[in-house]
Amino acid sequence: MAQLKPLPKLVLLAAVVVGLLFGISRVAAYYGIGILKSVQVSKVSLPEVKDALVENVQPSPYPTTVPNGCSDPIRYEEWAWNAGIGINYANGGIDTTKNSLMEKYNVCMHIVRQDDTNQNRNDLAACAKDLKNATECTNGVHFVTIMMDGAGQFLAPLNATLKKICKDCYAEQIGTSGYSRGEDGLWGPEAWKKNPKAALGDGLVAGVIGDGDWNSAQKWIGDNGLRSNPDIHTFDPTAVNWVNADTYLDAPQKYIAGYCEDRKVVTPEGISV
């Protein structure tokens, strides 16, 4: 059995900042691998509308921060991910605000922050249980947002559950609302950027297996002629190894906490060490 040491072997794979339906992951192969220094933002001043003028496009004024008091809202769950900025702007706040685009088009919406995709599934299923015998649901949420390249692994188990609840209920992707602005990627030691092979045998990456950011890392691994160990219960010194995180926020928490675990060491030939 081999003891995987926490630092610097545990590195971080995480998507951060306002999350929604579509994430065009900023692949590490293009944007490099770097080390982040966390900062706390106390206030952000939005630019003047005139600073964002585009030829032949009439700018829309910022919505107010005052809820418009609409009732019976659509319930929607989102991540903390940059792709959500558009829909957040359109709603004006957690609840639809006065002079917002949602109000303009007679939409009433309540936004819930939920980073756990398992809970996203549970809340959609709760709504489906109501819809089995009604035209509206009072429990759960009406829709959630997810990264497009992570939707397959999200929808497959969800629709299997929905089929058991309501024969006419199923979840599907219906559109896009934004994309990542560079926050998605594989984050690791500077040595990995200079020499990708340094990630072999000395790297353990925390990430949500099957999610969009995991896909970004897989592309970086492939672009650099490396291998990814598909078994999260073993350690292959000739491949990039993974620890599954429950959420993209669980990944950095594992890094910060110096998470480690015992694993059997295997070689490509399947020989245990």
User: Could you read off the pLDDT of 98-126 as tens digits, one per residue?
Assistant: 999 999 999 999 999 999 989 999 999 99
Could you tell me if 13 and 207 are in contact, meaning their C-beta atoms sit under 8 angstroms apart? yes
Asked if pLDDT for residue 222 goes beyond 90, the answer is yes
Question: What was the pLDDT predicted at 11?
Answer: 38
Q: State how far the Cα of 186 lies from the Cα of 205, in Å rounded to an integer.
A: 9
The secondary structure of residue 136, as a DSSP letter, is: S
Nearest CA to 170 out of 143, 135, 138 is that of 143
Position with higher pLDDT, 257 vs 48 = 257
pLDDT at position 174 over 90: no
Q: Is the pLDDT of residue 82 over 60?
A: yes
Q: What is the pLDDT of residue 81?
A: 85
By mean pLDDT, which of 51-65, 142-156, 162-176, 189-203 is the weakest?
51-65
Strands 143-144 vs 74-82: parallel, antiparallel or unpaired: parallel
Radius of gyration (C-alpha) of the chain in whole angstroms: 21
Task: Report if pTM > 0.85.
Answer: no
Task: Tell me what the mean pLDDT of segment 24-43 comes to.
Answer: 48
Domain coordinates in residue numbering, the chain: 2-16+183-265, 61-165
Indicate if the pLDDT at residue 1 is higher than 80.
Answer: no
For residues 147 and 37, which has the higher predicted lDDT (pLDDT)? 147
Residue type, 143: F
Alpha-helical segments (H) within the chain: 28-31, 85-91, 101-104, 117-131, 151-165, 190-194, 212-223, 250-257
Report pLDDT for 69: 94
Least confident stretch, 23-27, 160-164, 174-178: 23-27
- Residue 169 to residue 24: CA distance in whole angstroms: 28
For 4-27, what is each residue's pLDDT tens digit?
A: 343 333 333 333 222 222 332 333
Structural contact between residues 237 and 229, judged by C-beta atoms closer than 8 angstroms:
no
- Measuring CA to CA, how many Å separate 7 from each of 185, 198, 205, 209, 258? 19, 15, 11, 21, 6
CA distances from 108 to 64, 100, 200, 203 (A): 15, 10, 50, 47
CB-based contacts of 39, cutoff 8 Å, min separation 6: none
Looking at residue 31, what is its pLDDT? 33
